Amino acid sequence: MNAIFSPGKLMLTSEYFAIDGALVLAVPTKLGQEFFFEEKEDGKSLILWEAYHQNKLWLTAVIDYKNWQILETNLPSGAEFILKTLQNVQQLSTTRFKDNLTYYLKTNLQFPADFGFGSSSTLMNNLGEWAEIDPFHLNSISLGGSGYDIAVAKEKSAVLFQSKPEIKYEKVDFNPSFKNELIFIHLNQKQDSREGINLYKSKKKSQKLINEFSDITKKILLCNELEKFSALLMIHEQKIANFLEIPTVKEKLFSDCPSFVKSLGAWGGDFVISAKFGGFKDYFWEKGFSTVFEWSDIIDL
């Protein structure tokens, strides 16, 4: 079978404000999602879908794409999402699901689902590359969101991304001299991004505040000192806390931490970023957070 790979992502800046055009800095992860494909001319018009999670099979589906019916599956809710997404692929593509072929399609998500690295965005980008369609368009009609995660998956690089007035992004060289001092801590749960987005959308925001996050992103990209980087991330974190009117993750969980702690992506789950300090692993483990990674463990730069 032929194969395509898209890396996952971590969003370093602008979180919810990405929706309204704030400049985002995001980086690719070493783990991502693989997509394997093969087709046969047998006149059956079928899709045989297999989805693996860390090499363990979790979803199978047989789909008739002439009538868009699920003929067999072990997980109806998952198969329904795949069917609707592949219908969108058919609408956008000039070549896929047009002939009486059988498509053998297989995915393998390499990271735990609660890591928030982008199980959906990596799938959208893989399907976009396979069907030779715009993954941003496919993502928009299938899921929504700003699209920054698609940009990382597509470019396989750190990116600066902006969603408004139109989507634009560029590959950037983000390789801070202090990267080996940075750590990522998993909060033992997957945050529902839609819930956070709904809270964000319910609040009135100004272009001035959106521009402030873009300015912080630009400064972080050029930052070459850990102390300055830490200060910028703390300013960033407090601005979002003030806007959402909720406490920062440091206030909630790590009030006695001697280093900065900043949420990454949707607040309340997934990963936070911090910097090493004496006994940092013991500190986080004693608070119940045993999944602590260094930069080189998970970032692909």
Q: Read off the pTM.
A: 0.94
Residues 184-210 have pLDDT tens digits of 999 987 666 667 778 888 889 899 999
- Say how many domains are in the chain: 2
Q: Report angle CA 12, 223, 265 to the nearest 5 degrees.
A: 5
What three-state secondary structure class fits 255?
coil
Both 63 and 102 in a single domain?
yes
Please state, for a pLDDT cut of 70, what percent of the chain lies above it.
Answer: 97
CATH number at residue 265: 3.30.70.890
Residue 86 has phi, psi (to 5 degrees) of -70, -30
State the amino acid at position 66 in one-letter form.
K
Domain end residue (candidates: 136, 171, 206):
171
DSSP 117: S
pLDDT score at 190: 65
* Residues 142 and 95 both lie in one domain: yes
The secondary structure element, H or E, covering residue 270 is none
CB 153 within 8 A of CB 17: no
19 and 165: one domain?
yes
**Listed residue (235, 205, 229, 238) closest to 18, CA to CA:** 205
Same domain assignment for residues 120 and 255: no
Among 3-12, 113-122, 220-229, the minimum mean pLDDT is found in 113-122
- Compute CA 261 distance to the chain's CA centroid, rounded to the nearest angstrom: 20
151, 291: one domain: no
Does 14 share its domain with 109? yes
pLDDT digits (tens, 9 = 90+) for 151-181: 999 999 999 999 999 999 999 999 999 999 9
User: Which residues 6+ apart lie within 8 Å of 242 measured at CB?
Assistant: none
Predicted confidence at residue 247, as pLDDT, reads 93
Same domain for 123 and 14: yes
Domain containing residue 68: 2-171
Q: What CA–CA distance (Å, rounded) separates 283 from 263?
A: 18
Answer whether residue 128 shows pLDDT above 70.
yes
Can you give the length of the chain in residues? Answer: 301
pLDDT computed for residue 298 by the predictor: 96
Domain boundary (171, 197, 224) is at 171
Domain boundary among 125, 141, 171: 171
Q: To the nearest whole number, what is the mean pLDDT of the chain?
A: 94
